[in-house]
């Protein structure tokens, strides 16, 4: 038991701040996302729609996943519970209050879009080989996080 006393203001602040914990059995010293970036914590969680908050956290997971890829790989998303295959993620968005959407292409290069209600959100991030002929892999996590900044300054 922790005998820690907090003021009402501290309790409200702690409740409003997002918390994230990751434990990895292969490398316990590594956290998947040590500090949340300012663009995510600038706006209080309670003032974000569920879709906006889900979108921002997905962006963080994608950025972290990409940091662990080798130069011959790119991030893609596998579909859960079906034979729909994978979607090479080329963009993401949300529609308040509760829809998140993924844009990209499938294994055959066909344009693909997944529209998902946040209550059904289940995403598998996968490492795929970068397309042949491309010099460098595309890293979308950084580009997506720039979109968070643009949304909050508009």
Among the listed residues 70, 81, 16, the one whose alpha carbon sits nearest the alpha carbon of residue 43: 16
pLDDT digits (tens, 9 = 90+) for 26-83: 655 544 445 677 777 788 888 889 999 999 989 988 988 898 899 999 999 887 776 7
pLDDT digits (tens, 9 = 90+) for 75-127: 998 877 767 788 899 889 999 999 999 998 888 888 988 899 999 988 888 89
Per-residue confidence (pLDDT) for residue 136, from 0 to 100: 86
Per-residue confidence (pLDDT) for residue 2, from 0 to 100: 57
Specify if 38 maps to a domain: no
How many domains in the chain? 1
Specify if 132 maps to a domain: yes
Report phi then psi at 119, rounded to 5.
Answer: -70, -20
> 87 near 104, Cβ under 8 Å?
yes
Specify if 88 maps to a domain: yes
In whole angstroms, give the CA distance from residue 55 to residue 126: 18
Specify if 16 maps to a domain: no
Per-residue confidence (pLDDT) for residue 11, from 0 to 100: 54
Residue 30, judged by CB atoms within 10 A of its CB (0-12, 13-18, 19+), counts as exposed
**Residue ranges of E strands in the chain:** 73-78, 86-95, 99-105, 111-117, 124-129
pTM: 0.71
Q: Which domain holds residue 73?
A: 48-153
In whole angstroms, give the CA distance from residue 69 to residue 137: 10
Specify if 114 maps to a domain: yes
């Amino acid at each position: 038991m922790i005998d820690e006393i907090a003021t009402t203001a501290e309790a409200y602040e702690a409740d409003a701040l997002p918390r994230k914990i990751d434990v990895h059995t292969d490398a316990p010293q590594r956290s998947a996302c040590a500090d949340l970036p300012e663009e995510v914590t600038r706006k209080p969680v309670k003032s974000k729609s569920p879709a906006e908050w889900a979108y921002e956290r997905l962006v963080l997971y994608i950025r972290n996943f990409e940091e662990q890829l080798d130069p011959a790989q790119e991030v893609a998303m596998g579909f859960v519970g079906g034979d729909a295959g994978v979607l090479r993620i080329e963009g993401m968005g949300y529609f308040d209050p509760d829809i998140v959407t993924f844009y990209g292409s499938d294994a055959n290069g066909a344009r693909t879009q997944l529209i998902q209600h946040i209550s059904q959100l289940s995403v598998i991030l996968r490492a795929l080989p970068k397309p042949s002929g491309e010099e460098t892999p595309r890293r979308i996590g950084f580009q997506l996080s720039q979109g968070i900044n643009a949304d909050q300054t508009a």
